[in-house]
Amino acid sequence: MIKFFLMVNKQGQTRLSRYYEHVEINKRTMLEAEVIKNCLSRSKDQCSFIEYKDFKLVYRQYAALFVVVGINETENEMAVYELIHNFVEVLDKYFSRVVRHSIYYEIFLL
């Protein structure tokens, strides 16, 4: 089950947040700060799945944008990883140049 969905820039500013469980505002701020710190501190060579407290983080970087999804331990990490990619592709279709350059760069790396 998805617990939350975050879009964050490289400066650590949250651009979008959606919670699927109730979390108090002050706890959201602390949670987002810790999650962002964990994801931004990792290199591109490291795995995009992180075990964090009682859930897992699945994140993906597109240029200066990080998309982070918090899931419970029974959720499939690869399915969520693919969900992130599909979400970004849809954003790119409807709002041109969202992360176009990084998507093409990623395709060439594969």
Number of domains composing the chain: 1
Q: Is the pLDDT reported for residue 25 higher than 70?
A: yes
DSSP 40-100: HTS-TTS-SEEEETTEEEEEEEETTEEEEEEE-TTS-HHHHHHHHHHHHHHHHHHSTTSSH
Question: What is the pTM (predicted TM-score) of this model?
Answer: 0.82
pLDDT for 27-74, tens place per residue?
999 999 999 999 889 888 899 999 998 899 999 998 888 999 999 999
**CATH number of the domain that 60 lies in?**
3.30.450.60
User: In this prediction, what percent of the chain has a pLDDT beyond 70?
Assistant: 87
- Give the domain range for residue 67: 2-109
